[in-house]
């Protein structure tokens, strides 16, 4: 019986050693051969997907309807920019438009004075837009003042009311008012943003 137990023990040791070496060999093959191949395959599939997407985009961009749609979209964006950013040569037209709004609101003693830059936007050299500032002074009733501010904020091009003050007058119904507005404009030394290709 002892001999049989020794043979069975050797058998299990031999089988265990063979299986252990086999499992160790398979683990080494997986780590050294299969896993790097899987990583390479995943990277190749990712690169293929990116290349395929770029190829599809290039083919889509060549179509006339796509080019037309993109041109229309670009024109829409330019038009949106023009509502916010004006050309520096149009600053006087903006002041004239504000004077017209003041006339429509029947403001008295209306003056518009261009101020030097009060903000920090003009100091940043890498921006293609700057800002302009205008100080408005006039006499009005409170209702005229409110109507004028509303007209300024809803008119185009967009102006920003930075501050607004009305001071009650001791005599009469007209009060002294002061409004400081700012607007965005292309910097004179850069290519016009609103007209960029």
CB 154 within 8 A of CB 136: no
**Gyration radius from the chain CA atoms:** 38
Q: What is the pLDDT of residues 28-38, one digit of tens each?
A: 989 888 899 99
What CATH number labels 84-186?
3.30.70.60
Q: Is the pLDDT of residue 197 over 70?
A: no
Q: What is the pLDDT of residue 80?
A: 80
Sign of the dihedral defined by the CA atoms of residues 32, 38, 41, 42, in that order: negative
Using alpha carbons only, give the angle 79, 82, 86 rounded to the nearest 5 degrees: 165
What are the Cα distances from residue 132, in Å, to 51, 91, 118, 129?
47, 8, 8, 10
Does residue 13 carry a pLDDT above 60? yes
What band does 1 get if pLDDT is binned at 50, 70 and 90?
low
Q: Which residues pair with residue 46 across a beta bridge? A: none
pLDDT at 44 over 90: yes
Residue showing tokens 């102006």: 159
Is 157 within 8 Å of 95 (Cβ atoms)? Answer: no
The predicted-structure confidence for 112-134, as pLDDT tens digits, reads as follows 888 876 555 555 566 677 888 88
Rounded Cα–Cα distance for residues 115 and 153 (Å): 19
> Token pair 């943003």 is at which residue?
193
Task: Inform me whether the pLDDT recorded for 192 exceeds 70.
Answer: no
Contacts 24+ apart (CB under 8 A), 79-83: 81/193, 81/194, 82/157, 82/194, 83/156, 83/157, 83/158
pLDDT at site 194: 47
Low-confidence winner among 4-8, 106-110, 126-130, 172-176 (lowest mean pLDDT): 126-130
**Average pLDDT estimate for 135-142:** 88
Q: What would the pLDDT profile of 66-110 be if each residue is shown by its tens digit?
A: 788 888 888 888 888 777 788 777 777 888 888 888 888 888 888
Least confident interval from 4-8, 115-119, 162-166: 115-119
Residue 179 above 50 pLDDT?
Answer: yes
Mean pLDDT across the chain, nearest whole number?
Answer: 82
């Amino acid at each position: 019986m002892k001999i049989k137990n020794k043979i069975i023990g050797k058998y299990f040791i031999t089988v265990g050693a063979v299986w252990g070496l086999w499992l160790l060999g398979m683990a080494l093959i997986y780590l050294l051969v299969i896993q790097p191949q899987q990583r390479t395959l995943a990277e190749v599939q990712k690169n293929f997907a990116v290349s395929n997407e770029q190829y599809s985009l290039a083919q889509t961009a060549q179509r006339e309807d796509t080019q037309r749609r993109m041109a229309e979209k670009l024109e829409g964006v330019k038009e949106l920019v023009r509502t916010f950013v004006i050309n520096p040569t149009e600053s006087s037209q903006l002041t004239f438009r504000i004077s017209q709004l003041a006339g429509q609101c029947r403001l008295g003693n209306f003056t518009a004075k261009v101020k030097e830059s009060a903000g920090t936007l003009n100091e940043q050299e890498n921006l293609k837009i700057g800002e302009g500032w205008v100080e408005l002074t006039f006499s009005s009733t409170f209702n005229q003042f409110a109507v004028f501010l509303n007209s300024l904020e809803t008119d185009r091009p967009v102006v920003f009311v930075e501050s607004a003050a009305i001071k009650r007058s001791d005599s009469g119904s007209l009060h002294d008012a002061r409004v400081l507005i700012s607007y965005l404009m292309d910097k004179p030394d850069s290519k016009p943003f609103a007209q960029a290709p």
